[in-house]
């Protein structure tokens, strides 16, 4: 599992470790990890050109020491000092290894830029003169030290100019900005260098394949369709019958024992999935709202009246009132626009502070909120958050949300708690999309069809 911590948590852990190590040992560990990542990106470091953009904090020191390591391997290393304060020991190490300090307009165009401008304690945004230096290096691959300079580390927000990295080398643990968009998108590929920190509970988690496999419900030798869980689907409408088909396609993928469908798209559902039961009956969880149109309000009322867990999606979200005093075991699955309407704010506000608004919504409704996006966030009312990083850009297609709702509903019916069902379902959804896309475009129905194969790979 990837775990992300706040700046305060990291600094406290680093302070405790520094007291047990020789002076400078922690920075040397970080610098060697950074140098290795830069060399990997270069492919052949001998004769390559690296430019260090050096600020006044420890990140600047990491960059300088890493530059010294690269220079000793035959790399041409230049450094631009962007602060009146410089890590003197790191600068001395770079010079002794053959590296040079140059003015911004005197640097040769490098093969790789190392962003050591602002560390995890820096404020969001960059000074105009620093942004100008970066603009002059447009098109050169960037390796960021710990986080891309200019992002808000503890929230994932962006405020003004910032670095866009191809690779970010972080130390000790992931930070919130590595997992939460929009900052996470600016971090590129994140490489973690273990420093042996003794860290507290993380503020954000990101499930990995082994975590999902451990949480996934599996049938026992004496299970039958009812003990494995029955998921009910109230989705689709005269205008959007395909939503019902896509939702039941995911629900019927085999993670629950049986699927019931109630709605106006029964003929379309039966034609695609003869195993779906179209009749009233007991269920362990409902999925409601996907493509619901004018039918969504009544479908939601009927589903909630059953008193079982439910996934509330799409059109049904508009008819759900906040209920902050008693959770009903729901998973709410809005995209940014829907969440904005639920909280009466602008969509742009949600997109710029996804972590903050997902947490606010979970608290306001006292339910698990799954905020769909490039890195989907699953927020629990108690403040816990998981980020999903398994998806691919091709997943941005019509109907993908209907598939996700059906998948999460099947996991609820199979017995997972709402927070786990949403987290596991979101991860499987992204992984199935990656499998179905195979590097190219996909359709939502292909994502649903790929769920069984994704689970087989996971458990194999």
Mean pLDDT for 297-326 is 92
Mean pLDDT for 127-136 is 95
Neighbours of 203 (CB within 10 A): 18
71 pLDDT above the threshold of 90: yes
Whole-number Å distance between alpha carbons of 436 and 427: 14
pLDDT of residue 324: 66
DSSP state of 206: E
Contact 142, 50 (CB under 8 A): no
Helices (H), 125-208: 128-135, 176-179, 183-187
The closest alpha carbon to 300, from 233, 215, 384, 377, belongs to: 233
What's phi and psi for 420, nearest 5 deg? -70, -40
Mean pLDDT for 347-364 is 97
Mean pLDDT for 132-154 is 97
387 pLDDT above the threshold of 70: yes
380 pLDDT above the threshold of 90: yes
Among 150-159, 193-202, 297-306, 323-332, the range scoring the smallest mean pLDDT is 323-332
Report how far apart the first and last C-alpha atoms of the chain are (Å, whole number): 19
Mean pLDDT for 415-440 is 97
236 pLDDT above the threshold of 80: yes
Mean pLDDT for 109-137 is 94
Strands 100-101 and 385-387: unpaired
What ranges make up the beta strands (E) of 118-257?
Answer: 142-145, 167-171, 174-175, 189-193, 204-206, 230-234
pLDDT of residue 326: 73
Query: Residue 387 corresponds to which tokens in the numbers above?
Result: 């980020």
Residue 339 — pLDDT band, cuts 50, 70, 90?
very high
Residue 402 — pLDDT band, cuts 50, 70, 90?
very high
Highest mean pLDDT among 11-15, 193-197, 324-328, 432-436: 432-436
CA distances from 460 to 28, 263, 344, 371 (A): 40, 37, 45, 30
- Across 318-342, b (16+ Cβ under 10 Å) vs e yields ebbeeeeeebbebbbbbbbebbbeb
For all residues of the chain together, what is the average pLDDT?
95
Global pTM value: 0.95
Query: Percent of the chain scored above 70 by pLDDT?
Result: 100
In terms of pLDDT, which residue wins out, 361 or 45?
361
Whole-number Å distance between alpha carbons of 396 and 444: 9
Query: Percent of the chain scored above 90 by pLDDT?
Result: 91
Whole-number Å distance between alpha carbons of 78 and 389: 35
pLDDT of residue 201: 96
Angle at 240 between CA 387 and CA 316, to 5 degrees: 50
- Residues whose CB is less than 8 angstroms from the CB of residue 22 and which lie 6 or more positions away in sequence, other chains included: none
Sign of torsion over alpha carbons 205, 208, 210, 211: positive
Query: Residue 212 corresponds to which tokens in the numbers above?
Result: 């999902």
2 pLDDT above the threshold of 80: yes
Q: Could you read off the pLDDT of 30-54 as tens digits, one per residue?
A: 999 999 999 999 998 899 999 999 9
Residue 24 — pLDDT band, cuts 50, 70, 90?
confident
Query: Residue 52 corresponds to which tokens in the numbers above?
Result: 């260090």
pLDDT of residue 372: 98
8 pLDDT above the threshold of 80: yes
Mean pLDDT for 88-96 is 96
Mean pLDDT for 101-114 is 94
Domains and CATH numbers, the chain: 2-205 (3.40.50.10260), 209-459 (3.40.1190.20)
What are the residues facing 80 on neighbouring strands?
53
DSSP state of 202: -
What are the residues facing 54 on neighbouring strands?
81, 116
DSSP state of 70: H
Whole-number Å distance between alpha carbons of 29 and 50: 20
Whole-number Å distance between alpha carbons of 401 and 312: 11
Whole-number Å distance between alpha carbons of 303 and 291: 15
pLDDT of residue 18: 76
């Amino acid at each position: 599992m990837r775990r992300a911590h706040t700046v305060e948590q990291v600094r406290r852990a680093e302070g405790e470790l520094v007291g047990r190590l020789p002076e400078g040992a922690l920075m040397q560990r970080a610098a060697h990890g950074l140098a290795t990542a830069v060399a990997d990106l270069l492919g052949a470091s001998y004769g390559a050109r690296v430019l260090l953009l050096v600020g006044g904090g420890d990140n600047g020191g990491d960059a300088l020491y890493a530059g010294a390591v690269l220079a000793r391997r035959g790399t041409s290393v230049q450094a631009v000092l962007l602060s009146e304060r410089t890590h003197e020991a790191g600068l001395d190490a770079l010079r002794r290894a053959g590296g040079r300090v140059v003015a911004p307009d005197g640097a040769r165009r490098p093969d790789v830029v190392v962003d050591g401008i602002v560390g995890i304690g820096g404020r969001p945004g960059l000074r105009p003169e620093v942004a100008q230096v970066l603009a002059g290096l447009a098109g050169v691959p960037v390796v960021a030290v710990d986080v891309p300079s200019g992002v808000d580390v503890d929230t994932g927000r962006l405020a003004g100019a910032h670095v866009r990295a191809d690779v970010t080398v972080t130390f000790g643990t992931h930070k919130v900005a590595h997992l939460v968009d929009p900052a996470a998108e600016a971090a590129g590929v994140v490489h973690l260098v273990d420093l042996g920190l003794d860290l507290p509970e993380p503020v954000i988690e990101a499930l990995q394949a082994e975590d999902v496999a451990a949480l996934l419900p599996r049938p026992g030798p004496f299970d039958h369709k009812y003990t494995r869980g029955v998921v009910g689907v109230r989705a689709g409408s005269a205008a959007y019958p395909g939503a019902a088909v896509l939702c039941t396609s995911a629900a019927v993928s085999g993670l629950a024992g049986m699927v019931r469908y109630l709605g106006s798209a029964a003929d379309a559902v039966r034609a695609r999935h003869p195993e779906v039961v179209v009749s009233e009956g007991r269920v362990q969880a409902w999925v409601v709202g996907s493509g619901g149109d004018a039918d969504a309000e009544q479908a939601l009322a009927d589903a909630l009246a059953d008193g079982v867990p439910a996934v509330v999606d799409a059109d049904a979200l508009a008819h759900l009132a906040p209920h902050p005093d008693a959770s009903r075991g729901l998973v709410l699955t809005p995209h940014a626009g829907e969440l904005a309407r639920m909280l009466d704010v602008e969509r742009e506000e949600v997109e710029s502070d996804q972590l903050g608004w997902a947490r606010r919504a979970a608290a306001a409704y006292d339910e698990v909120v799954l905020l769909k996006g490039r890195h989907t966030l699953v927020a629990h009312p108690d403040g816990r958050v998981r980020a999903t990083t398994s998806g691919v850009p091709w997943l941005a297609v019509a109907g993908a949300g209907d598939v996700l709702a059906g998948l999460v509903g099947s996991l609820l019916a199979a017995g997972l708690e709402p927070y786990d069902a949403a987290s596991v379902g979101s991860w499987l959804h992204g992984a199935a999309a990656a499998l179905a896309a195979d590097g190219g475009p996909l359709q939502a129905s292909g994502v649903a069809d790929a769920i069984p194969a994704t689970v087989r790979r996971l458990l194999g």
